[in-house]
Amino acid sequence: MNGYAPMKVTLRQVMYRLVSEGALPHTAPMYRRLSAQLAKARREGRLPDLIDTVREIHFSPVWTGADAFLAEMPDWFRLDRTEGQEHALYVAAESTPRAPC
């Protein structure tokens, strides 16, 4: 994990780094074992937290009153900056798989 400092990393990044260095085999059981060992080390305070790209807390927005809602509403307004353009550029990233194998 120090090889990525000062950035935080995901469990998947740690696994692929160790596999690429030949330190671990590229198997689902090894991924689960690494996950358990890193979780234990984090709980014991020996490692920093990893980035968790899967777990999110979803909740509906709330406001203290109508005035607070109306004050925030203008921030939601966005123009379609691609309207009338012949081409659009999209950037995509690989989705996170459930296991590295």
Question: Does residue 25 have a pLDDT over 90?
Answer: yes
Instruction: Give CA torsion, residues 35, 37, 41, 47, to 10 deg.
Output: -50
- Residue 49 to residue 46: CA distance in whole angstroms: 10
Alpha-carbon distance of 69 to 38, in angstroms, equals 42
* pLDDT reported for residue 99: 53
26 neighbors 34 (Cβ within 8 angstroms): no
Q: What is the per-residue pLDDT for 66? A: 93
Describe the chain by its helix, strand, coil percentages, rounded to 5: 40, 0, 60
Q: What is the pLDDT of residue 32?
A: 93
Q: State the pTM of this model.
A: 0.52
Stretch 40-64: mean pLDDT: 80
Given this model, what pLDDT does residue 75 score?
Answer: 84
Q: Give the pLDDT band of residue 89 (cuts 50, 70, 90).
A: confident
- Pseudo-torsion of CA 8, 92, 20, 18, nearest 10°? 30
| Residue 4 or 40, more confident | 40
100 vs 16, which has greater pLDDT?
16
